[in-house]
Amino acid sequence: MRLAKLIILAICTMLVCLVQDTSAQPSLAERLGYPKDAKLLIVHADDLGMSHSVNIATIKAFETGLVNSGSIMVPCPWLSEIATYARANPQADLGLHLTLTSEWTSFRWGPVTSKDRVSSLLDKNGYFHLTESEAAAKADPKEVEMEIRAQIERARALGIQPTHLDSHMGTLYQNKALFETFLRVAREYKLPVRVAKTWFSRADFLPSTLKTDDVFIDRVLDINATVAPSDWAKFYTDAIKKLEPGVTEIVIHLAYDDAEMRGATHDHPDWGAAWRQRDLEFFTSDAFRQLLKDEKIKLITWRELSKLLQK
Amino acid sequence: MRLAKLIILAICTMLVCLVQDTSAQPSLAERLGYPKDAKLLIVHADDLGMSHSVNIATIKAFETGLVNSGSIMVPCPWLSEIATYARANPQADLGLHLTLTSEWTSFRWGPVTSKDRVSSLLDKNGYFHLTESEAAAKADPKEVEMEIRAQIERARALGIQPTHLDSHMGTLYQNKALFETFLRVAREYKLPVRVAKTWFSRADFLPSTLKTDDVFIDRVLDINATVAPSDWAKFYTDAIKKLEPGVTEIVIHLAYDDAEMRGATHDHPDWGAAWRQRDLEFFTSDAFRQLLKDEKIKLITWRELSKLLQK
């Protein structure tokens, strides 16, 4: 009994030491060369390649310098247009928005891989499943791995050199097997993935799968459907005013509220055409520029984070 | 020598009889139940499913009753939208615009069939080839057959009951092997294909491949890039005023000159966004309606033609 107590005490001591060691490690901000209390922000536009409207709105936002990162959906029909932009702008901070869902009912896409080889990823019509939960429930992780590798290789063949990876509709965070697959591929390519410390309480497999070598940011912010359209700017303004030190990514969805986007999102106002136009208006506004200045927020990119993995 | 002359004479007599028999057959107009001198016209919009702009412009034109037929590109991203229309409008005269090319550089699509099985149809990035000549030169007819069957079956699975078949960019008329493949599949489904008698002089394999049971129309009219934009209405007006008796199909391309179409066709003004808007304006105009009336032109559909094959 006395021996058991001693063993438990020893284990506890080791754990305390480990925790102290962890807290003693430099923060991500410090590893990037910034003060520990710096407020570092990535303003990230998802869904590039999905449609012309998304592409041209996001490129316009990149030109303001206020939106400084984005990720590309390789299986989507307008990939070629954004690949042309990527080749002409090699400094642009472009990652891949790995895609395993096709969520709009009038406008669909499917895999890069030959369909016969990834049948678990497909609905009865040969497109990706409509929702992330259906995709995650049906997807064979081996087929997921094949498809995400194919998306990365297709992007590279088109001259896109991705700086990071994330997952459209969060499909690759839906369960441990998918997240392990995602991380394995990302590590092989030495690319950081979108993972935030604030997500660790949501799913045990997130912290347990990550290694100390992996790069993960402090938090991800995004708007949601409970915010009234008239409160859009207020939501973002409040979030930015309350921004804590460390590395934050704000995830936005840009497009014009035009015929193409209204057609694609007609039965789904969440992340729809008007939503994306509101995001575009706020994140290209003088008010947002002033806010960054007033709050002493420094914009950083995934490219900076990726360099931590490539040392 | 005398015997040889007799044989030649006998063969010539048989050929004359055959020609007389053919000319004695009722014309297509008569087989459809119209007088031989009736001017019968199908006003046909190509490229449905390609983009939202094409879909909504063509649906608007269908609603006027002045454009009365169209064909759908099954591999394209907006197929689902036009399939919804087809299910809600089962009387609509919708065929399939069998697609083996992906001609726009910023906006691409690929096969319905699993890519591994149709590699001769694909460019290095896994999309269809850009041009009909490249597609025809590289395509293995067996893979073409597999893909066009897959397109027909995908359409049927989505509730589209095609009334006819044609070929995007004319790829399936590029050589005899492709045309034979096209006809074999069309005959099996008892569907008429876009073939005009006036094309017979272009390629010997067209008349030699057709059988008397096949349905082929008298002529196809379309505009071309030599017509100045300011002469658009004049070109169509003159063509319609000169319309000869028999069955004519006028092939048009409808869309709005909007951001989506300008993005898709930015480096290719022929069949581009402005071209399609001009077609839309003419073929939904009161002037066109009056012209049909003045010239005593009767609009007919491919559905009527298809019934000749289904007897």
Rounded to the nearest 10°, the torsion over CA A175, A176, A181, A186 is 100
Digit-by-digit pLDDT tens for chain B (311 residues) are: 555 555 555 554 454 444 444 456 899 999 999 999 999 999 999 999 999 999 999 999 999 999 999 999 999 999 999 999 999 999 999 999 999 999 999 999 999 999 999 999 999 999 999 999 999 999 999 999 999 999 999 999 999 999 999 999 999 999 999 999 999 999 999 999 999 999 999 899 999 999 988 999 999 999 999 999 999 999 999 999 999 999 999 999 999 999 999 999 998 889 999 999 999 999 999 999 999 999 999 999 999 999 999 87
Task: Map residue A262 onto helix, strand or coil.
Answer: helix
Predicted complex ipTM: 0.90
User: In a 3-state reduction of DSSP, which class is residue B102?
Assistant: coil
Among A63, A36, A6, CA closest to A218: A36
Kindly list the distances between the CA atom of residue A184 and the CA atoms of A148, A149, A220, B137, B187, in Å, as whole numbers in the listed order. Answer: 11, 11, 22, 41, 51
Of the candidates B66, B110, B89, B225, the residue with the CA atom closest to the CA atom of residue B163: B89
Query: B291: part of which helix (H) or strand (E)?
Result: helix B286-294
- As a whole number of angstroms, the distance between CA B276 and CA A236 comes to 41
Percent of chain A whose predicted confidence (pLDDT) is above 90: 89
Instruction: Find the mean pLDDT for residues A72-94.
Output: 98
How far is residue B56 from each of residues B59, B63, B122, B151, measured CA to CA in Å?
5, 11, 29, 22
Minimum Cα–Cα distance from B84: chain A residue: A106
First to last CA, chain A: 49
Token match 């129309």: residue? B217
Q: Would you state the structure tokens that stand for residue B92, as one six-digit string?
A: 């609509």
What was the pLDDT predicted at B110?
A: 98
The first and second tokens of residue A121, run together, are 């990823």
Residue of A nearest to B53 (CA): A260
Query: At residue A2, does pLDDT exceed 80?
Result: no
Q: Which residue of A106, A124, A154 is in closest CB contact with B78?
A: A106
Residues of B with CB under 8 A from a CB of A: 51-53, 55-56, 76-81, 84, 105-109, 112-117, 124-126, 154, 157-158, 256, 258-260, 263-264
Tokens in use for A285? 């506004």
Contact present, A275 and A281 (Cβ < 8 Å)? no
pLDDT the model gives residue A15: 46
Residue identified by tokens 């019968």 is B40
Residue A284, pLDDT > 50, answer yes
Q: Give the mean pLDDT of chain A.
A: 93
Q: What is the dihedral of CA B22, B185, B253, B41, to 10 degrees?
A: 30
pLDDT at B20: 42
- A52 and B80 in contact by Cβ < 8 A? no
pLDDT digits (tens, 9 = 90+) for A172-218: 999 999 999 999 999 999 999 999 999 999 899 999 999 988 999 99
Q: Distance between CA atoms of A120 and A289, rounded to whole angstroms?
A: 45
What is the DSSP pairing of strand A165-167 with strand A219-221?
unpaired
Neighbours of A212 (CB within 10 A): 7
- Nearest Cα of chain A lies from the Cα of B80 at a distance, in angstroms, of 5
User: Which of B125, B158, B260 shows the shortest C-beta gap to A125?
Assistant: B158
Instruction: State how far the Cα of A302 lies from the Cα of A247, in Å rounded to an integer.
Output: 11
Chain A residues contacting B via beta carbons under 8 Å: 51-53, 55-56, 76-81, 84, 105-109, 112-117, 124-126, 154, 157-158, 256, 258-260, 263-264
Q: Which of B63, B69, B65, B66 is nearest to B45 (CA)?
A: B69
What is the residue whose two structure tokens read 């209204």? A262
Q: Which residue, A187, A173, A260, A246, is CA-closest to A27?
A: A246
Contact A260 B53 (CB under 8 A): yes
With beta carbons under 8 A apart, name residues in chain A contacting B158.
Answer: 125
CA distance A163 to A93: 6
Residue with tokens 């309350």, as numbered in its chain:
A242
CB under 8 Å to B209, separation ≥6 — which residues? B176, B179, B180, B183
Can you read off the two tokens belonging to residue A106? 């009038």
Q: What is the pLDDT of residue B23?
A: 52
pLDDT score recorded for residue A13? 47
Rounded to whole angstroms, the Cα distance separating B170 from B184 reads 17
Render the burial of B152-162: b for 16+ CB within 10 Å, e for the rest.
bebbeebebeb
Both tokens assigned to A273 = 């055409």
Angle, CA of A189, A190 and A193, to the nearest 5°: 95
* Secondary structure in 3-state letters for chain B: CHHHHHHHHHHHHHHHHHHHHHHHCCCHHHHCCCCCCCEEEEEEEEEECCCHHHHHHHHHHHHHCCCCEEEECCCCCCHHHHHHHHHHCCCCCEEEEECCECCCCCCCCCCCCCHHHHHHHECCCCCEECCHHHHHHHCCHHHHHHHHHHHHHHHHHCCCCCCCEEEHHHHHHCCHHHHHHHHHHHHHCCCCECCEHHHCCCCCHHHHHCCCCCCCECEEECCCCCCCHHHHHHHHHHHHHCCCCEEEEEEECCCCCCHHHHHHCCCCCCCCHHHHHHHHHHHCCHHHHHHHHHCCEEECCHHHHHHHHCC
Cβ of A259 and B263 within 8 Å?
A: no
Angstrom distance (rounded) from CA A109 to CA B108: 11
Q: What is the pLDDT of residues A17-40, one digit of tens each?
A: 444 444 568 999 999 999 999 999
- Give the chain B residue nearest A109 (alpha carbons): B77
Alpha-carbon distances, residue A260 vs A61, A82, A225, B84, B115 (angstroms): 19, 17, 21, 17, 28
Contacts of A117 in chain B (CB under 8 A): 114, 116
Query: Residue B221 belongs to what H/E stretch?
Result: strand B219-221
